[in-house]
Structure 1
Amino acid sequence: MGRMERVRVPMSMLLVQTFTTGMMLLSKVVLSKGMFVFSLLAYRNAIGVLFVAPLAFSFEREMGRKLTYKALMWIFINAMFGVTLAMSLYYYGLKDTTAAYSSNFLNLIPIITFIIAVILGVERLRIRSSEGKIKLVGALLCVGGAVVFGVYKGKILHIWPSHQIITLQNLNNCKNTNILRGSFLLICSCFSYAFWFVTQVKLYKVYPSKYWGTVWTCFAGSLQTAILGIIMNRRKEAWRLKWDLQLLTIIYSGILNTGATFCLISWAVSQRGPTYPPMFNPLSVVFTTILESFLFGQKITIGSLLGMTMIFGGLYAFLWAKRKEILMKGKTSEGDGSVTVLPVSDKD
């Protein structure tokens, strides 16, 4: 097994967080200018369908004929948690707060996913093993880093001259800012995302297709959000598309944050389990902080650097322990005479 083969899954999750960072910054701008959340979601997922469908026809043509009623049920549930609830709640929370503030809540997703996965029996805690203890410490360290990042400020660091492309005042030009309401919506979004990662496992068992699974999930999500959006707002202005930043945000989010991200996350969950992808969410906090500082003049402090260090340390600890668990499972299967010597993730 070569070095490149070992880093494919973590590198794919690094791409996901890069896409997420761009989405948060763009979405904050267009939402602050009044774009309707459900029209953004409906168009975004429709673009995702158009982007992934050719890949599904090219690489998984036969899976398109294997869609069952049970698979359709899990696709509907998957879209409900991952698109309709998680994304809409996050967008409304983002609208009420800022990109840097809302990105901190993504760090709650790993620990919530881990707890739910353990309760539902999808993931085992294995607290008596050294790997289980390190995983737990790593998850707590990530959450602790997020808390330090958001609460402790300290001395302001002047890393580079202030040459903003967009001023922070313009970015946060939202008269209806409500931190309390926004925080509540973001927490609810975290729980929805956690259930989405767990339902990914169920969906992949009944319908093991990363491309067709993504196509149908995006289609169901677009349909769900369009219906809810029309019920909430039937004005033509809320659904009209123009050649501006809103259209760029829809295309960017649809291709990278819906189509590509759903494929990558579905594949990563099938390789490493539901708790693996959300452990990379802290990286988007770091990326957002750096970009907001450079582009929008957001201040970087000692507290933010300390929080980033804790986040990276916790992430590394969790991934190291997860890697050891996978290798131990492979050795156990080999000792028991099982056909599968190593898990799928170590072959790809």
Structure 2
Amino acid sequence: MAVGASSLSVTCRRLRPHIFMILVQTASAFLYFITEAAFNHGMNPHVYVTYRHIVGGFVVFPFAYFLERKIRPQMTLNMFIEIFLYSLLGVGLTINMYFASLEYTSPAFLSATVNTIPTLTFILSVIFRLENLNLRKARGIAKATGTLMSLAGVMIIALYRGPAIRHLWEPLLHLMKSEIHKNWIKGPILSVASCISWSIWFTMQGFTLKRYPAPLSLATWANFIGAAQSAVFTSLVVRHQPVAWVKTSFIDIATILFGGVVSSALNFIMIVWSSREKGPVFVTMFCPLQTLLVVIFAYFIVGEKLYTGSIVGGAIIITGLYLLLWGKASDQEVNIKSEEQPSLSAIKQNEPKLQIVTVLEKESQNH
């Protein structure tokens, strides 16, 4: 009974990063519909980003203050500058560019570009030696193939429709669709820039966490500094519209609270923790799940059309994700074995050596 409980505990500990990232992408997909409703209601996206991260900072702060008192490094000027850049890449610059690009492009295009983040992060991690890529081994081929397959699956969902699937029941929710002012020069530039910034942020986490190994405190700093950066940017955008900062409707307040508590606090912590345990490539590889979940939620809850291209792309995404996870698991097994071998050899060297001497050998030695 104790052995079974122990093996279950080990399994849960091993699968914890996977569970965290599935929860992150599920919450992000659900948040997509809430924010869409709030934006259609008139809320400014940049004001939302600012308020969301203020809420997230206040939610994480008490946990960071009490739980990381002994492990939190002393803040220095160099460390503050690094966290300032970390917050700019993860919050202040990237998320504001992401929401600004929504005003000029279609959701399908943005979904395709955002999900290039795993590929960009994978390339950056290999360049900075945060990720091993040995194409002579099956695990290396699996990671590279899985990354490209997930990217291909997202592109299929975004660019190929195919026949529509008939609805089985009436949608549970009805969302008003706002008109999109398309600009196919400014929009793609903003969306691609946000993807590059996000990829650099995910890669930067590996270095920042080594110098500041306190994920809760790092999340608190990033939320507050990112909110301040976003507030400066937002004040330039809505400087002649002070009413944009006043939120009284239920949908606006609920969206800010849900985004702050879930996305800026819980999701942020789970992303940072999983990145420290598994690396940035592991974290970003779950990004395509958000596109797949948005398609599923849109069909079953909102009543949007589901096309066969989405089904084909979703199957390819899942296959690619499985290949990458298998490659990462194989890498981890190899690392564990390589760490165990030196310890075993050291034990063998320290073992007492027994020498058996027979009676005849002893008599010959005496003579």
What CA distance in whole angstroms lies between the structure 2 residues aligned with 1:147 and 1:307? 8
Which letter maps to 1:139?
Answer: T
Contact 2:93 2:230 in 1 (8 A): no
Give the superposition deviation at 1:256: 0.6
Which residue of structure 2 aligns with residue 183 of structure 1?
A: 188
Which residue of structure 2 aligns with residue 14 of structure 1?
A: 22
Is residue 328 of structure 1 aligned with residue 334 of structure 2? yes
Which residue of structure 1 aligns with residue 238 of structure 2?
A: 233
Is residue 61 of structure 1 aligned with residue 69 of structure 2? yes
Which residue of structure 2 aligns with residue 304 of structure 1?
A: 310
What CA distance in whole angstroms lies between the structure 2 residues aligned with 1:8 and 1:143? 25
**Secondary structure of the equivalent of 1:143?**
helix
Give the superposition deviation at 1:126: 1.6
Give the superposition deviation at 1:253: 0.8
Mark the runs of 5 or more structure 1 residues left unpaired by the alignment.
Answer: 340-348
Structure 1 193/203 Cα, relative in aligned 2: closer, same or farther at 3 Å? Answer: same
Which residue of structure 1 aligns with residue 223 of structure 2?
A: 218
Alignment of 1:249-328 (within 5 A): 249-328=255-334
Contact 1:25 1:99 in 2 (8 A): no
Which residue of structure 2 aligns with residue 93 of structure 1?
A: 101
What CA distance in whole angstroms lies between the structure 2 residues aligned with 1:182 and 1:174? 15
| 1:25-73, Cα deviation, whole Å (9 max, x unpaired) | 2222222343223211111110011110111123112345622323212
| 1:259-295, Cα deviation, whole Å (9 max, x unpaired) | 1111111101110111111100111111101111123
Give the superposition deviation at 1:176: 2.1
**Secondary structure of the equivalent of 1:275?**
helix
What CA distance in whole angstroms lies between the structure 1 residues aligned with 2:171 and 2:32? 21
Root-mean-square deviation over aligned CA pairs:
2.0
What CA distance in whole angstroms lies between the structure 2 residues aligned with 1:186 and 1:10? 27
What CA distance in whole angstroms lies between the structure 2 residues aligned with 1:34 and 1:51? 26
Is residue 192 of structure 1 aligned with residue 193 of structure 2? no
**Secondary structure of the equivalent of 1:337?**
helix
Structure 1 207/176 Cα, relative in aligned 2: closer, same or farther at 3 Å? Answer: same
What CA distance in whole angstroms lies between the structure 2 residues aligned with 1:105 and 1:68? 37
Contact 1:23 1:253 in 2 (8 A): yes
Contact 2:112 2:154 in 1 (8 A): yes
What CA distance in whole angstroms lies between the structure 1 residues aligned with 2:158 and 2:185? 15
Give the superposition deviation at 1:247: 1.4
Larger radius of gyration: 2
Which letter maps to 1:223?
Answer: A
Contact 1:70 1:206 in 2 (8 A): no
What CA distance in whole angstroms lies between the structure 2 residues aligned with 1:184 and 1:142? 23
Which residue of structure 1 aligns with residue 206 of structure 2?
A: 201
Give the superposition deviation at 1:96: 3.5
Which residue of structure 2 aligns with residue 83 of structure 1?
A: 91
Which letter maps to 1:325?
Answer: D
Which residue of structure 2 aligns with residue 129 of structure 1?
A: 137
Count matched residues. Answer: 336
Give the superposition deviation at 1:338: 9.2
Q: Indicate which of 92, 114, 125 corresponds to 1:117.
A: 125
Contact 2:46 2:99 in 1 (8 A): no
Give the superposition deviation at 1:180: 5.5
Contact 1:100 1:289 in 2 (8 A): no
- TM-score w.r.t. the length of structure 1 is 0.91
What percent of counterpart residues are identical? Answer: 28
Q: Indicate which of 139, 152, 155 corresponds to 2:160.
A: 152
Which letter maps to 1:254?
Answer: G
Point out the more displaced range, 231-240 or 198-207.
Answer: 231-240
Mark the runs of 5 or more structure 2 residues left unpaired by the alignment.
Answer: 1-6, 346-367
**Secondary structure of the equivalent of 1:66?**
coil
Give the superposition deviation at 1:337: 3.1
Point out the more displaced range, 66-75 or 243-252.
Answer: 66-75
Contact 2:202 2:280 in 1 (8 A): yes
- TM-score w.r.t. the length of structure 2 is 0.86
Give the superposition deviation at 1:3: 1.8
Give the superposition deviation at 1:90: 1.2
**Secondary structure of the equivalent of 2:261?**
helix
Which residue of structure 2 aligns with residue 105 of structure 1?
A: 113
| 1:51-105, Cα deviation, whole Å (9 max, x unpaired) | 1011112311234562232321221111111101221111122344455553333
